[in-house]
Amino acid sequence: MGDVTYFTKEGLEKLKKEVEELKTKGRAEMAQAIAEAREKGDLSENAEYDAAKEAQGHLEAKIAKLETTLANARLLDKSALDTSKVQVLNTVRVMNKKLKKEQKFTLVSENEADLKQGKISVNSPIGQGLLGKVVGDVASIKVPSGMMEFEILEITIDM
């Protein structure tokens, strides 16, 4: 049994779509590559065939891993969320004390993290440092480049 992973509705749909795509299109492309390699002659000395079979193994392992994640996926219930303290699915507006700049982060599961969209994993150093904080708190967070300080300005649910 794998670890339970929490998803937004959008994140769960994206995962289901990826699994379906790998099982249909991915497997079909893999079968085609194996068939083409097989046509090239003696399988005992056919590096292309070996590579295609190895790629097939990787594809099946990825499908199995995603299916396990899907089996252990739980949908987050937004109505159960509150904004009294930072938790998963909250959007947090902070003041980066070092840069003297406001930033916004939405805390999401590892699988849904996307820095370009401001979605950070609750397991990341910043995510961990913000969890449980309330408006007015200053979170001192150790990141690879040193220490960062974020003052919590606002906690909302934007999803």
CA dihedral (30, 36, 37, 42) in degrees, to 10, reads 140
The letter for the amino acid at 131 is: L
Please tell me the predicted confidence (pLDDT) of residue 1: 45
pLDDT, average across residues 135-141: 94
The letter for the amino acid at 125 is: P
The token duo for 155 is 């906690």
Residue 136, C-beta contacts closer than 8 angstroms, at least 6 positions apart? 151, 152
Of the chain, the percentage scoring pLDDT greater than 70 comes to 93
Of the chain, the percentage scoring pLDDT greater than 90 comes to 47
Residues 107-133 pLDDT 10s: 988 878 888 989 999 889 999 999 999
What does pTM read for this prediction? 0.59
* Residue 78's pLDDT band (cuts 50, 70, 90): low
Domains annotated on the chain, with CATH: 5-75 (1.10.287.180), 78-156 (3.10.50.30)
Cβ proximity of 152 and 82 under 8 Å: no
Tokens 């590559």 belong to which residue?
A: 33
Residues 80-101 pLDDT 10s: 677 888 988 889 999 999 889 9
Check residues 103 and 3 and name the one with the higher pLDDT: 103
- In angstroms, the Cα distances linking 95 to 15, 104, 122, 140, 149 are 33, 9, 19, 12, 8
The token duo for 53 is 């079979």
